Structure 1
Amino acid sequence: MKKTLVAIAALAAFGAQAQSSVQIDGLMDAGYQSLNLKGTKVNGIQGNGSGTSQINFRGTSDLGGGLKADFRVETDWSVVSNKANQGTASSTSGDATKLALDKQVNATAGTFGNGELRVGLDQAGIGRIDFGAINFNTLDTLGTGQPYGTAIGGGYGSVSRVDAAGTAVRDENQVRLSSATFSGFKAVLNKSAKQTKANNGASASTSTGLTAQQTAFSTTLGAYDKLGSTEVGVNYANGPLAASYSTLKQDSVSVGTGTTATTVNTLGANYTMGAIKGMFLNQTVKTTTGTVATDTSYNAYSVVYTMGNTELMASTGKLKQDVGTYAGKESKLTSFGANYNLSKTTSLYLRSESIKDDAAVIAAAATTDVSGNTKRTRTAIGLKTNF
């Protein structure tokens, strides 16, 4: 009887194991890059010219009846810098200037789990729910409307963006509801609650010389302040046509000393005709800080041509500031790129991007140049491999 029970337990354990799986995948990207930022030139070896270098741990458990539990832990890293991957946020230097520089160099770029984090349940034919630090649907919309994603070529962080600040693609403490796909359509709702309960007193210095920021993350709700995010997205993909629309509202009013609310509306679409894919991106950003408003509108058109192992792409875009300090001014993007696919997972790439930034949307610290130069150019030649 005991042997039978042991055998049954062993079979049950084997069956449970057979219904669960864990996989590791990722991307490595590095090469030569050249940057000319409004007259300031620099070049050298850099990563992420074509895609974000990362490693992912993914797991799935089949719970039966079409119900699955799954998770993702993403870690983004630098391919070309050890220090950038050390996650060091302190310094032994007593010099304040050197300390600030050390904090930048020894950033948390490679800290484990610094990318998308989520755990969720998926019910076949109905939809899914996820919790974590989850990518916005706007990231998918951006990829639907232009071929460069957040890498060089699409003007990401300047003329195009995902979140309000133009520097992130996800938010903390999120819940996401996603429908199943019906006739090519899928709906998404992302929600992250605003936190305003933290003590607004002066920040205290720590023994490392760093400052404990009021908006720093804590594992205890109410011990920190953070902006609130609400996003609604609708995606469609069927045959040669794909389209996506996202509206993302982010509110930092009363988050510490915050007074800003922003709405980012993004529409992306593409249509494939044989070897040619045409793409369109429209984005409006409405920002209110106190009583000061800034509105921008952006339209971009792209084409991708596939010829054997070679992909050629080109884009043109124009951002116009409708309300604000630079009202009526425009920032214009032109870019082109090429991929030569060595295999299904590995490619050599070329990217070239030029933005004439008369609307002053690039890098606030460098928007004014004494020579009147408003142009930024970026060029990258590199290797990308997926695994």
Structure 2
Amino acid sequence: MKKNVLAVALVGVVASPAFAQSSVTLYGVIDEGIDYTNNVGHGSVVELASGYAQGSRWGLKGSEDLGGGLKAIFQLENGFDLNSGRLNQGGRMFGRQAYVGLSSDRFGSVTLGRQYDSVVDYLAQTTANGNWAGYLFAHPYDNDNTDNSFRVDNTIKYASPDFSGFQFGGTYSFSNDTNFANNRQYSFGAQYANGGLLVAAAYLQANNPGVGSNGAITANDASFIAGRMRVFGGGINYTFGSATVGFAYTNSNYKDPTGNGYIGIPLAANGVLLNTLKYQNFEVNGKYQITPAFFVGAQYVYTMETYDASTGSVKPKIHSVGLMADYNLSKRTDVYVQGEYQKVAGSSTNSILDDAFVPGTQSPSSTQNQVVARVALRHKF
């Protein structure tokens, strides 16, 4: 009897490595603070606001080892407003990310579901808003999605393994419509990292973004609603010692734009219709780690806006300046202060786009200037 028990135990010990190893992680971020905006419509406002340096969220991610360097992976990530408890991203349960897929050490990963596009995956990290600063530092109206204003539904994504610092990938998002090209999206990007150097570039195109509720970029999730959206750009960061400096260029082109998720429909006013809307953003940013627990950062963005309207072509210039200081109370909790100033200069055509608007404020300014200041507490778990 003892021999039989011992044999069964030995078989169990020998066989145990054959069972798949799996893990599931629960994580989250809570970002809450007080904002002051000098001009929201026609007056200043002080408000409690959630999710600026990072969007407030909680999520689950996990993997199962299938053997031979192959894993099954998944991620479900929720976005929420701390002050009201409401779901963000159009009220979705897992509005930030929701995907499942396979990952190989040798061949990379393929995932399916609601995901980030290649601009977010590769290019955004070279900007202040897509890296360490967040919402208030986004380019005007987040016209290039480097602040991740929208995700892409119905998406297949490929991400390569690391080839001595070089990585690439792409996405394709189905329209899920009988008209195959209606509200579809595709993007691709790449990056090279070596020591303190990071270089990245990306391209994205979407047909009829913001049209309907079943396509790649749905009406309740879009930044711009248009006949076509094209975004491309590149950026570079370099870290030396305690300092990081960066430059990013993005080019956004919208055909027949009618609305914007931040300010609603219509984009134009007084009967003015927009045929095309273009942005070129030139960003310089820097961050200095004064101590392991404390950093300061700054950003300047020069934006060339061009829109062809029924009343003529107009080319305003937008200047955005941001400052931030962040202090870690622990490994998981920090406090930060931010300030952002925006000025619109140049000609106008009675469009709401003529007024200053810092993403994160309640509405555009009634003038060509807007200032926002924020002090906040962030906790990660």
TM-score in terms of structure 2 length: 0.77
From 250, 255, 276, the equivalent of 2:206 is 250
Residue 154 in structure 1 maps to residue 146 in structure 2:
no
From 366, 375, 378, the equivalent of 1:381 is 375
In 2: Cα distance, 1:253 partner to 1:379 partner: 32
Unaligned runs of 5+ in 1: 86-106, 199-221
Q: Please give the residue correspondences for 1:22-101 in structure 2 after superposition, counting only pairs within 5 Å.
A: 22-36=24-38, 37=40, 39-82=42-85, 84-85=86-87
Classify 1:191/1:184 alpha carbon distance in 2 versus 1 (closer, same or farther; 3 Å).
Answer: same
From 237, 249, 259, the equivalent of 1:282 is 249
Kept after mapping to 1: 8 A contact 2:303/2:318: yes
Kept after mapping to 2: 8 A contact 1:195/1:255: no
From 293, 308, 314, the equivalent of 2:276 is 293
Q: Equivalent residue of 1:324, what SS?
A: strand
Classify 1:8/1:44 alpha carbon distance in 2 versus 1 (closer, same or farther; 3 Å).
Answer: farther
Corresponding residue number in structure 1 for 2:109: 128
Spell out, residue by residue over 1:19-65, the C-alpha distance to the aligned partner (whole angstroms, 9 max, x if none). Answer: 00111111111011112335432112211131111111011101110
Q: Please give the residue correspondences for 1:178-197 in structure 2 after superposition, counting only pairs within 5 Å.
A: 178-197=159-178
Corresponding residue number in structure 2 for 1:305: 288
Opposite residue 317 of structure 1, the aligned amino acid is V
Opposite residue 29 of structure 1, the aligned amino acid is D
Classify 1:195/1:310 alpha carbon distance in 2 versus 1 (closer, same or farther; 3 Å).
Answer: same
Opposite residue 368 of structure 2, the aligned amino acid is T
In 1: Cα distance, 2:14 partner to 2:112 partner: 29
Spell out, residue by residue over 1:145-182, the C-alpha distance to the aligned partner (whole angstroms, 9 max, x if none). Answer: 2233372442356255318xx87331110000111111
In 2: Cα distance, 1:127 partner to 1:167 partner: 23
Give 1:5 deviation, angstroms.
11
Kept after mapping to 1: 8 A contact 2:20/2:65: no
Residue 241 in structure 1 maps to residue 197 in structure 2:
yes
Give 1:4 deviation, angstroms.
9.4
Opposite residue 233 of structure 1, the aligned amino acid is G
Classify 1:126/1:80 alpha carbon distance in 2 versus 1 (closer, same or farther; 3 Å).
Answer: same
Q: Equivalent residue of 2:321, what SS?
A: strand
Q: Equivalent residue of 2:120, what SS?
A: helix
Classify 1:368/1:33 alpha carbon distance in 2 versus 1 (closer, same or farther; 3 Å).
Answer: closer
From 88, 93, 96, the equivalent of 1:115 is 96
Give 1:264 deviation, angstroms.
0.7
From 283, 300, 303, the equivalent of 1:319 is 303
Unaligned runs of 5+ in 2: 213-218, 220-224, 258-273, 346-352
Q: Equivalent residue of 2:114, what SS?
A: strand
Greater shift after overlay, 152-161 or 122-131? 152-161
Kept after mapping to 2: 8 A contact 1:313/1:336: yes
Kept after mapping to 1: 8 A contact 2:154/2:173: yes
Corresponding residue number in structure 2 for 1:267: 234
Give 1:276 deviation, angstroms.
1.0
Kept after mapping to 1: 8 A contact 2:139/2:301: no
Give 1:15 deviation, angstroms.
5.1
In 2: Cα distance, 1:8 partner to 1:171 partner: 50
Classify 1:377/1:140 alpha carbon distance in 2 versus 1 (closer, same or farther; 3 Å).
Answer: farther
TM-score in terms of structure 1 length: 0.76
Classify 1:169/1:47 alpha carbon distance in 2 versus 1 (closer, same or farther; 3 Å).
Answer: same
Kept after mapping to 2: 8 A contact 1:160/1:298: no
Residue 352 in structure 1 maps to residue 355 in structure 2:
no
Q: Equivalent residue of 1:158, what SS?
A: helix
Kept after mapping to 2: 8 A contact 1:272/1:278: yes
Corresponding residue number in structure 2 for 1:329: 316
Greater shift after overlay, 175-184 or 249-258? 249-258
Kept after mapping to 1: 8 A contact 2:117/2:170: no
Give 1:329 deviation, angstroms.
1.1
Classify 1:108/1:284 alpha carbon distance in 2 versus 1 (closer, same or farther; 3 Å).
Answer: closer
Spell out, residue by residue over 1:326-354, the C-alpha distance to the aligned partner (whole angstroms, 9 max, x if none). Answer: 63211110110010111222211011111
Opposite residue 71 of structure 1, the aligned amino acid is F
Classify 1:184/1:167 alpha carbon distance in 2 versus 1 (closer, same or farther; 3 Å).
Answer: closer
Q: Let me know the Cα RMSD of the aligned residues.
A: 3.4
Q: Equivalent residue of 1:144, what SS?
A: helix
Classify 1:195/1:19 alpha carbon distance in 2 versus 1 (closer, same or farther; 3 Å).
Answer: closer
Identity between Structure 1 and Structure 2 (%): 22
Classify 1:233/1:318 alpha carbon distance in 2 versus 1 (closer, same or farther; 3 Å).
Answer: same
In 1: Cα distance, 2:209 partner to 2:95 partner: 26
In 1: Cα distance, 2:59 partner to 2:211 partner: 32
Kept after mapping to 1: 8 A contact 2:42/2:365: no
Opposite residue 34 of structure 2, the aligned amino acid is Y
In 2: Cα distance, 1:6 partner to 1:35 partner: 71
Give 1:270 deviation, angstroms.
0.6
